[in-house]
Amino acid sequence: MQQFARLLPYLWQHRWKLYLSSAFALAVAVLWAGTLSLTFLVVKVLLQDQSLQQYVELEVKNSEVEIDKRQRELDELDRQLEVHVFGALPSGTVSASEKELRRGQDRVAGKLKSATRRLVAFRWVRRHVIPLVPNDQFKTYAVILSILVIGTTLKGTAVFIQEVLVGSVVELTVMALRKDCFRHALNLDYQTLMRHGKSELMSRFTNDIGIAADGLNLLGGRIVREPLKAFACIFVAFFVSWQLTLLSMVCVPLMGVIFHRYGLLLKRASHHMMERMSRIYKSLEETFDGLKVVISFNGERRHRQRFHHENKDYYYQAMKVVQIDSLTSPTTELLLTLAVCVSLLPGAYLVLRHQDSIWGIKLAAEPLSIEDLSWFYALLAGTLDPVRKLSSIYTKLKRTSAATQRIFQVLDWQPALKVAEQPQPMPRHSQSVVFKKVSFQYDSDGVNRPNALTDVSLKIAAGEVVVVVGENGSGKSTLVNLLPRFYDPNTGSVLIDGVDIRNVRLRDLRNQIGVVTQETLLFDESIYENIRYGKPDATHAEVLAAAEKARVPQFFDQLPEGFSTRVGPRGSRLSGGQRQRVALARALLIDPSILILDEATSAVDAQSESMIHQCLGDFVKGRTVFLITHAVKPVILEFVSRIVVMEQGQLLAVGSHDELLQSCSAYQRLFRAQISGPAGDCQPEIRIDGPVLAGSDVSASIAPPHVIKFEPASNTAPTEALRKAT
């Protein structure tokens, strides 16, 4: 119930529709009890040799006789009480006889009131209804059936309107809930979202919200309507015999205990079932995202087996829900049948033996007639049907409770990034970027992982172009990802122009940073829209200029619609190099003061890479640039200010290309691997006794068997050495 209570703010916005739907549900309940009450009239017409007119006249006469009788009894009791009170008893003494007389007064007065109400009701029927009823019994029966059809039609119309109103509220509520979850997810930090995974999020946004919507439809529809129908029947049954009605409810506490136990089992099983569905989503996501690898390595069998295993786990959990659900209906039917028998058996005894009590226990104001018993049975059957329907949706409500809990868990997730309460202004970056004793460890759900960064300190002046190099896992991407606050460091701080980036608005910070990631992601829109993604208000001329800088128009001839060509899901209709050029244009358009290129040219061909580097040579002027790579190409060295070498999460060295070749063995290894390739490569080898200078073309045609050997030689010009070697 706590989870459903959290839905109230969403439902409260549409309360007038809910009020109206409740009114129609009440109308359904009244019509339900009313149509069932026609049983009394049917039995009266078919089984009794008496017209309805005669029945009403007889009831009016009997009521008048009853009133006269009870009035005389009451007068006699008043007289006896008056004599008793003003007798010779001491003042203030109340005898037992006086108490009995007063109780008798109350009992007779209650019967007098009941008879009076009965007389008023039958006189109203005689005046307004009987003139409309034909005298012939068959015609009367036809009228009763016509009323039944009209009542059923009105009831069906009310059900339809109520369902439509509830459906509207549910869809609006689910839409608002989905939007809030999506908004909250986008406000979370990257690390928190990746910890839960895309498949888990997709499952909660689709499967769980779908289950919650089904439950809300039941909650606003049948859960309101069916109890009202049952209560209406019980209310009318109280007028037939309140004693027998109470007797029929002896199984209610037992039903409550049983269904509470079922509910606990159902909620737990439903929760496990939805977790298994998340794993099915994950299996599908990984298979289709890695489809090329699956096909290339003939991995279809492995993925089929994994998918089968996940489906089998889901089946086992789903069967637990099915088993509990299957128990619910027969259990309910058995208990309700028992309740009906408990009340009908004494009722039949009263009718057949013409009694109003059993074993001295009074069960009716007067002996019941066969039509009264038929009416009472119809009302109990009318109570049984709504309760049976409620039991059939009990499992769905428990599944809804589990799904709602998982949905609200998304809203309860707290971002690891703290937002500044009083953010500082952030003018355009113009001074420096400082990493001050930064350490960072990825959140791994309790698994003890080593630091991705350990005590890194680095200062970059505004306008510098810095290359961050290192082997895979060295921490170079993690370091630069701290700038746009994809993560926050565990210790230390990142300063831009002397201001801790945790003290400024995220929007202001990210407006100054352009990012081109290694895994280029485009959206299924046109090339034009993808380029202006970061600046929706950009003019057509600005978009074209950014595209020109990134050499995007170079491949327009291959596309049927040019700029308007849709790129497909994740840019699948473009090649890797084309996607990266579009992503670069997207970053260039926002004119960032800080540009981050994370292996931005890893998927482009040599010619495209050369053009992009020429573009960068012009674009980097006046802005701070971080180039993340594991291989420093000579063309980059033409505009690079410094090179930062990372190894195992630590800052190993900082300096120019020449300085690092002389002083940093790790950088020498990286550069040597880039030139000579891995062992066994069929590449020319060149021997050079000196460092290679920035700007030297190390990819020139070189004949074997020369070998490049990076050995410092301060007196030898590196460019001259390269020329002699070739």
Distance CA 138, CA 145 (A): 11
> What pLDDT is stored for residue 518 in this prediction?
73
Are the C-beta atoms of 341 and 198 separated by less than 8 Å?
no
Are the C-beta atoms of 704 and 684 separated by less than 8 Å?
yes
> What pLDDT is stored for residue 562 in this prediction?
77
- Radius of gyration over alpha carbons of the chain, in Å? 42
Q: What's the N-to-C CA distance of the chain in angstroms?
A: 80
Q: Which residue has the higher pLDDT, 671 or 609?
A: 671
Distance CA 637, CA 642 (A): 9
Residue 216, domain member (yes or no): yes
What is the rounded average pLDDT of the residues 232-241?
79
Q: Total structural domains in the chain? A: 2
Does residue 361 sit in helix, strand or coil? Answer: strand
Check pLDDT > 80 for residue 520.
no
What is the rounded average pLDDT of the residues 378-387?
76
What is the rounded average pLDDT of the residues 24-34?
87
> What pLDDT is stored for residue 691 in this prediction?
39
> What pLDDT is stored for residue 96 in this prediction?
47
> What pLDDT is stored for residue 628 in this prediction?
87
Tell which phi-psi region holds residue 179, choosing left (phi > 0), alpha (psi between -120 and 50) or beta: alpha
- Dihedral sign, Cα of residue 634, residue 637, residue 639, residue 640: positive
What is the rounded average pLDDT of the residues 137-164?
84
Which residues 6+ apart lie within 8 Å of 668 measured at CB? 660, 661, 710
Does residue 443 sit in helix, strand or coil? Answer: coil
- Residue pLDDT, tens place only, 402-429: 788 888 888 888 877 888 788 888 888 8
Tell me the whole-structure pTM to 2 decimals.
0.65
> What pLDDT is stored for residue 494 in this prediction?
92
Residue 545, domain member (yes or no): no
Are the C-beta atoms of 726 and 702 separated by less than 8 Å?
yes
Residue 505, domain member (yes or no): no
The percent of residues above 90 in pLDDT, for the chain, comes to 3
- Give the residue from 383, 411, 439 where a domain finishes: 411
> What pLDDT is stored for residue 338 in this prediction?
74
Beta partners for residue 629, in sequence order: 469
Are the C-beta atoms of 655 and 632 separated by less than 8 Å?
no
What is the rounded average pLDDT of the residues 107-117?
80
Nearest CA-CA partner of 470 in 325, 648, 329, 683: 648
CA distances for 650 relative to 458, 461, 605, angstroms: 11, 20, 32
208: which DSSP letter? Answer: I
Residue 176, domain member (yes or no): yes
CATH of the domain at 259: 1.20.1560.10
- HSE, CB side, 13 Å, CA atoms: give it for residue 538: 24
Q: Report residue 435's pLDDT band, with 50, 70 and 90 as the boundaries.
A: very high
Residue 633, domain member (yes or no): no
Q: Residue 211 belongs to what domain range?
A: 2-51+135-411
Check pLDDT > 50 for residue 528.
yes
Q: Which residue has the higher pLDDT, 557 or 440?
A: 440
131-140, 177-186, 536-545, range with the lowest pLDDT: 131-140
Residue 298, domain member (yes or no): yes
Q: Which residue has the tokens 């208000």?
A: 537
Strands 594-598 and 624-629: parallel
What is the rounded average pLDDT of the residues 139-162?
84
Q: What is the average pLDDT score of the chain?
A: 76
What is the rounded average pLDDT of the residues 553-564?
76
Residue 536, domain member (yes or no): no
Q: What angle do CA 201, 204, 207 make, to 5 degrees?
A: 130
> What pLDDT is stored for residue 241 in this prediction?
73
Q: Which helix H or strand E contains 521, and what residues bound it? A: none
Q: What angle do CA 169, 174, 180 make, to 5 degrees?
A: 125
Distance CA 596, CA 485 (A): 13
In the chain, DSSP finds a helix count (H) and a strand count (E) of 24, 12
- Give the residue from 411, 437, 452 where a domain finishes: 411
451-465, 540-554, 642-656, 693-707, range with the lowest pLDDT: 693-707
The percent of residues above 70 in pLDDT, for the chain, comes to 78
What is the rounded average pLDDT of the residues 13-29?
88
Q: Report residue 434's pLDDT band, with 50, 70 and 90 as the boundaries.
A: very high
> What pLDDT is stored for residue 238 in this prediction?
78
Are the C-beta atoms of 641 and 464 separated by less than 8 Å?
yes
Are the C-beta atoms of 283 and 307 separated by less than 8 Å?
yes
Classify each residue of 257-275 as buried b or exposed e, where b means 16 or more C-beta atoms within 10 Å of its C-beta: ebbeebbeebbbbbbbbbb
- Residue pLDDT, tens place only, 242-289: 777 777 776 667 766 776 676 677 777 777 777 787 788 777 777 777
What is the rounded average pLDDT of the residues 626-631?
82
Residue 710, domain member (yes or no): yes
- Give the residue from 358, 384, 411 where a domain finishes: 411
Q: Which residue has the higher pLDDT, 146 or 718?
A: 146
CA distances for 448 relative to 441, 442, 445, 456, angstroms: 10, 10, 9, 21
